[in-house]
């Protein structure tokens, strides 16, 4: 998994993502017998030797995954979820999309192109998307930029059986991926205005430190939890200015 965080402020957008990749494994389950009942007629039947599906679980981590990409020199894209689709890494997929895409002038257009491209890639890999569970998204993206009106915007694209996309343009923060811990942290400030982040007054430095704080909070907590961490490693940061476009990427521990 991953934690991607973006903060929209008057001077632009800051987006950050951790660089830890989690390697998963599958535990093959055995056979079982079961008694089932027809919902329509009430008839009961005994089913013998049912093969249970494999159970997925994390087995190890790697600290140097590339999850944040410069796109068309104007936008920043962070990926979360699966690191590969249709036998290619997300970096390879993003670069292929960038090469084949004509010049774009809005972050909305980039988001739509990402949605169409990665829906196609998932379909090529899975073949029958009806086999995917509802409301489960194998991977997704945060796409950040500013349009000609100089308003910072974040699109969240989630790819699955029924893909979704959502744009946020007000001052604030958007979190994607492994958000349970940080979501609870921010919920704890509910009803107390003095504890709410004032994004309208953030400088670029404030936004960078805020994004780093949230990602480090989750990474540090997971170090002490009874689990294999899903967030960690260096934090990659991109800063996009409302006027000058993409300023650059930095890496921080």
Q: What is the pLDDT of residues 123-159, one digit of tens each?
A: 999 988 888 888 889 999 999 998 777 889 999 999 9
pLDDT at 135: 83
**Region 232-249 average pLDDT:** 82
Which pLDDT does position 132 carry in this prediction? 82
pLDDT at 96: 96
Would the CA dihedral through 18, 21, 27, 28 be positive or negative? positive
Residue-averaged pLDDT of the chain? 87
Phi-psi region of 204 (alpha: psi -120 to 50; beta: other; left: phi over 0): alpha
Q: Which pLDDT belongs to residue 60?
A: 63
For residues 96 and 146, the model is more confident at 96
- Mean pLDDT for 49-75 is 77
Amino acid 122: pLDDT: 96
Higher-pLDDT residue of 5, 136: 5
Condensed to tens digits (0 to 9), the pLDDT of residues 72-94 reads: 989 999 999 999 999 999 999 99
Domain regions of the chain by residue span:
3-20+66-188+201-252
Q: β-pairing, 172-177 with 164-168?
A: unpaired
Structural tokens at position 77: 């894209």
Q: What is the pLDDT of residue 181?
A: 94
pLDDT value, residue 87:
94
pTM over 0.75: yes
Adjacent-strand bridge partners of 239: 14, 248
| 32 neighbors 38 (Cβ within 8 angstroms) | no
Confidence (pLDDT) at 175: 97
Of residues 64 and 23, more confidently modeled: 64
The percentage of residues in the chain with a pLDDT greater than 90, rounded to a whole number, is 61
Contact 219, 17 (CB under 8 A): no
Contact 182, 4 (CB under 8 A): no
Residue scoring higher pLDDT (253 or 54): 54
Q: Domain 3-20+66-188+201-252: which topology? A: 3.60.20
Closest CA to 55 of 34, 29, 94: 29
């Amino acid at each position: 998994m991953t934690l991607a965080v973006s903060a929209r402020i008057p001077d632009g957008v800051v987006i950050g993502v951790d660089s830890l990749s989690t390697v998963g494994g599958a535990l093959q389950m055995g056979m079982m017998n079961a008694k089932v009942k027809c919902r329509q007629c009430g008839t009961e039947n005994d089913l013998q030797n049912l093969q249970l599906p494999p159970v997925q679980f994390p087995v190890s981590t790697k600290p140097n995954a590339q999850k944040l990409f410069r796109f068309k020199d104007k936008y920043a894209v962070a990926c979360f979820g699966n690191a590969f689709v249709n036998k290619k890494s997300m970096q390879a997929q993003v670069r292929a999309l960038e090469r084949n895409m004509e010049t774009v002038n809005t972050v909305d257009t980039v988001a739509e192109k990402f949605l169409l491209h990665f829906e196609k890639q998932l379909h090529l890999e899975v073949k029958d998307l009806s086999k995917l569970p509802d409301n489960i998204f194998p991977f997704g993206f945060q796409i950040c930029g500013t349009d000609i009106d100089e308003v910072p915007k974040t699109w969240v694209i989630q790819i699955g059986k029924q893909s979704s996309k959502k744009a946020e343009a007000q001052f604030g923060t958007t979190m994607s991926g492994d958000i349970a811990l940080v979501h609870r942290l921010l919920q704890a400030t509910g009803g107390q205005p003095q504890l709410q982040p004032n994004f309208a007054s953030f400088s670029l430095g404030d936004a960078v430190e805020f994004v780093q704080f949230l990602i480090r909070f989750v990474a540090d907590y997971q170090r002490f939890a009874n689990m294999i961490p899903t967030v960690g490693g260096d934090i990659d940061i991109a800063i996009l200015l409302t006027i000058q476009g993409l300023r650059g990427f930095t890496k921080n521990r």
